[in-house]
């Protein structure tokens, strides 16, 4: 990143770039505290922005087939690949990412775009989707019904979290564009530099119809006041903000569909049959540490609670502690560093406070509830938190570990007596995005899937045969559902073609068998 005056991030909608009044947010380097950019949407006409997208982007996208939309998505991916090196530099500077962390975000976004480009390509000239087989309704064989999916004619408002300015942007955008729905993305201000750079490159490449893509840098302002029943909201962030969105008077009155991904106390479960030193035990230790430290633990899917048999508490604790001790923390620009800072000092403060709360009922095994002292780094300007592992002794009195998500490199080991106890303790998380189960007893693994399935959006089951080849506890694959019940927001994203459902209206069409047949022949099929 070049040194100079902070960049003033502009918003893009209505076919032009616009800058808001004043400064609403400063974007900083979390290693040294220097201001890299500022953002503001104050005074911008968000009502007009939405209207432009509805009047221009919506008909332009709906006029294209799924295959044609897929080509647009592929073209976006090509633009991003060309500029990848510049994006990595931004991610390191503004998000404090290591190169590996930046790759998770940047390549995750590009990979998701490429996946949906391939997924939509075979749909040829289809503009509608068929969701099931025709059903006969009366004695007359010629009178039937079928459910189809029709693209919504509004705008998809994507409100994203600070931790994935690339992946969060493009995983929503890919599905929205393939569905034929224009989108307006509002990235979290703290890390909006990457989202801004990517959208600017796509706009300059002129690969999308006018109004198909809009960017809001700064506060969301009064945007929710201007939504209609044809629009939709996809939100990733805190449960507190999610509640505000869901309860917004206009959202309620208009019946605006809302998809939420919120807090999540994700779990890793070591099965009773796993012995220390086995490949499955080693895979468990490796994955827990990776999830604690990748992106400094600031992933919605990161492991927060570690469940192990009471008799293996010492073995698991020592193995995790030893592996964590090898993690080099510092400036992500250094080649030897494996974990950088949290994104902002505000996030650091919240994380350290959370560690303190957990430490009220658990002992700290490694790490600290204070910022670490690092050579060459000013603790008054940086946002570092040491990888911190805690250990619960009494599961009957522990409460905070099941209620407090510390959004940083922090996880807590929790002992369980038997599998019934394990399942009950995991359930106290109130619903999560993902849990991973490590074991080689197939009978137990099947029971665990049945017991834990209702509380999670995704289950990763790791046994010896996949210990070295699985995609990872915290890596969201576009083929699989991303979301979770309860405190996780009760939302669903991605999941292959199933992700298109949110952007469509499901309609039951009743009519002649000939009409139903014509619709089937011209539509794409979800199954």
Question: Could you give the CA distance from residue 220 to residue 250 in angstroms, rounded to a whole number?
Answer: 15
Strands 388-392 and 362-366: antiparallel
Q: Are 268 and 303 in contact (CB under 8 A)?
A: yes
Helices assigned H by DSSP within 2-65: 46-52, 58-62
pLDDT value at position 524?
A: 85
- Whole-number CA gyration radius for the chain: 24
Q: What is the pLDDT of residue 126?
A: 87
Residue 186 corresponds to which tokens in the numbers above? 């509002």
pLDDT (0 to 100) of residue 2: 46
**Beta-strand pair 35-39/25-28:** antiparallel
Phi and psi angles of residue 380, each rounded to the nearest 5 degrees, phi first: -80, -10
Beta carbons of 20 and 43 less than 8 angstroms apart: yes
In angstroms, the CA 50 to CA 56 distance is 10
CATH superfamily membership of 266-485: Aldehyde Dehydrogenase; Chain A, domain 2 (3.40.309.10)
Asked if 162 and 191 touch (Cβ cutoff 8 Å), the reply is yes
Closest by CA to 280, choosing from 444, 437, 474, 453, is 437
Report pLDDT for 379: 94
3-state helix, strand, coil in the chain (%, to 5): 40, 20, 40
Per-residue pLDDT of the chain (527 residues; tens, 9 = 90+): 445 689 999 999 999 999 999 999 999 999 999 999 999 999 999 999 999 999 999 999 999 999 999 999 999 999 999 999 999 999 999 999 999 999 999 999 999 999 999 999 998 888 889 988 899 999 888 999 999 999 999 999 999 999 999 999 999 999 999 999 999 999 999 999 999 999 999 999 999 999 999 999 999 999 999 999 999 999 999 999 999 999 999 999 999 999 999 989 999 999 999 999 999 999 999 999 999 999 999 999 999 999 999 999 999 999 999 999 999 999 999 999 999 999 999 999 999 999 999 999 999 999 999 999 999 999 999 999 999 999 998 999 999 999 999 999 999 999 999 999 999 999 999 999 999 999 999 999 999 999 999 999 999 999 999 999 999 999 999 999 999 999 999 999 999 999 999 999 999 999 999 999 999 988 888 87
What is the sign, positive or negative, of the torsion defined by CA atoms of 179, 183, 189, 194?
positive
3-state secondary structure of 347: helix
**Tokens found for residue 88:** 């990595």
Q: How far apart are CA 306 and CA 324, in angstroms?
A: 14
Cα(278)–Cα(256) distance, integer angstroms: 51
Nearest to 146 by CA among 507, 524, 438: 507
Cα–Cα distance between 108 and 300 in angstroms, integer?
14
Is residue 237 packed enough to be buried (19+ CB in 10 Å), middle (13-18) or exposed (0-12)?
A: buried
Number of Cβ within 10 Å of residue 312's Cβ equals 17
Nearest to 316 by CA among 352, 271, 356: 271
Which residue intervals of the chain bear CATH 3.40.605.10?
Answer: 7-262+490-525
Closest to 89 (Cα-Cα) out of 188, 194, 17: 194
Torsion angle of alpha carbons 327, 333, 334, 339, nearest 10°?
Answer: 0
Q: What is the pLDDT of residue 4?
A: 66
Report in angstroms the alpha-carbon separations of 102 from 41, 80, 96, 385. Answer: 27, 14, 9, 19
Least Cα distance to 166 among 112, 209, 242 occurs for 112
Question: Are 7 and 36 spatial neighbours (Cβ–Cβ below 8 Å)?
Answer: yes
- Could you give the CA distance from residue 386 to residue 342 in angstroms, rounded to a whole number? 10
> Which residues are known to be catalytic?
261, 300
State how far Cα 224 lies from the chain centre: 22
Give the pairing type, strands 493-494 and 481-482. antiparallel
pTM of the model: 0.94
What string of H, E and C letters represents the secondary structure of 157-222? Answer: EEECCCCCCCHHHHHHHHHHHHHCCCEEEECCHHHHHHHHHHHHHHHHHCCCCCCCEEECCCCCCC
Residues 6+ apart with CB under 8 A from 461: 436, 437, 439, 445, 448, 449
Domain 7-262+490-525: give its CATH code: 3.40.605.10
Indicate the length of the chain as a whole number. 527
Cross-strand pairs, 38: 8, 26
């Amino acid at each position: 990143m070049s040194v100079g005056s902070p960049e003033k991030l502009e918003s893009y909608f209505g076919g032009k770039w616009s800058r808001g009044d004043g400064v609403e947010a400063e974007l900083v380097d979390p290693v040294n505290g220097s201001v890299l950019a500022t953002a503001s949407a104050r005074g911008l006409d968000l009502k007009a922005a939405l209207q432009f997208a509805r009047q221009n982007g919506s008909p332009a996208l709906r006029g294209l087939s799924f295959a044609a939309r897929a080509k647009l998505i592929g073209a976006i991916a090509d633009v991003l690949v060309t500029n990848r090196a510049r994006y990595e530099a931004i991610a390191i500077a503004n998000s404090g990412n290591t190169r590996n962390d930046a790759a998770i975000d940047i390549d995750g976004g590009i990979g998701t775009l490429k996946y949906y480009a391939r997924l939509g390509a075979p749909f040829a000239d289809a503009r509608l989707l068929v969701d099931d087989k025709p059903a006969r309704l009366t004695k007359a064989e010629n009178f039937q019904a079928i459910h189809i999916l029709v693209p919504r004619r509004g705008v998809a408002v994507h409100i994203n979290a600070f931790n994935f300015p690339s992946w969060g942007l493009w995983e929503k955008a890919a599905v929205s564009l393939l569905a034929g729905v224009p989108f307006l993305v509002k990235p979290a201000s703290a890390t909006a530099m990457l989202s801004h750079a990517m959208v600017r490159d796509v706009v300059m490449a002129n690969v999308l119809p006018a109004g198909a893509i809009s960017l809001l840098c700064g506060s969301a302002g009064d945007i929710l006041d201007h939504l209609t029943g044809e629009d939709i909201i996809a939100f990733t962030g805190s449960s507190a903000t999610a509640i505000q969105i869901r309860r917004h008077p206009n959202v309620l009155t208009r019946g605006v569909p809302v998809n939420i991904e919120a807090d999540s106390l994700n779990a890793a479960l070591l099965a009773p049959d796993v012995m220390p030193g086995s490949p499955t035990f080693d895979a468990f230790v490796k994955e827990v540490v990776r999830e604690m430290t990748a992106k400094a633990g600031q992933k919605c899917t990161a492991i927060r609670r570690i469940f192990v048999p009471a008799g293996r508490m010492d073995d698991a604790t020592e193995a995790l502690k030893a592996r964590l001790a090898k993690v080099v923390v510092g400036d992500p620009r250094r080649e030897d560093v494996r974990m950088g800072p949290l994104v902002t000092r505000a996030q650091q403060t919240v994380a350290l406070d959370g560690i303190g709360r957990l430490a009220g009922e658990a002992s700290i095994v490694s790490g600290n509830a204070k910022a670490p002292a690092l050579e060459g780094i000013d603790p008054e300007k940086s946002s570092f938190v040491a990888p911190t592992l805690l250990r619960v002794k009494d599961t009957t009195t522990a409460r905070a570990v099941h209620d407090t998500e510390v959004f940083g490199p922090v996880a807590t080991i929790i002992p369980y007596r038997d599998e019934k106890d394990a399942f009950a303790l995991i359930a106290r998380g109130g619903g999560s995005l993902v849990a991973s189960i490590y074991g080689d007893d197939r009978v137990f693994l099947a029971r665990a899937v049945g017991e834990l399935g209702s509380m999670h959006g995704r289950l990763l089951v790791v046994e010896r045969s996949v210990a070295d080849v699985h995609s990872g506890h915290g890596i969201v694959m576009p083929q699989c559902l991303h979301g979770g019940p309860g405190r996780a927001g009760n939302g669903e994203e991605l999941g292959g073609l199933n992700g298109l459902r949110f952007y469509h209206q499901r309609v039951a069409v009743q009519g002649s068998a000939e009409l139903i047949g014509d619709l089937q022949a011209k539509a794409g099929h979800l199954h």
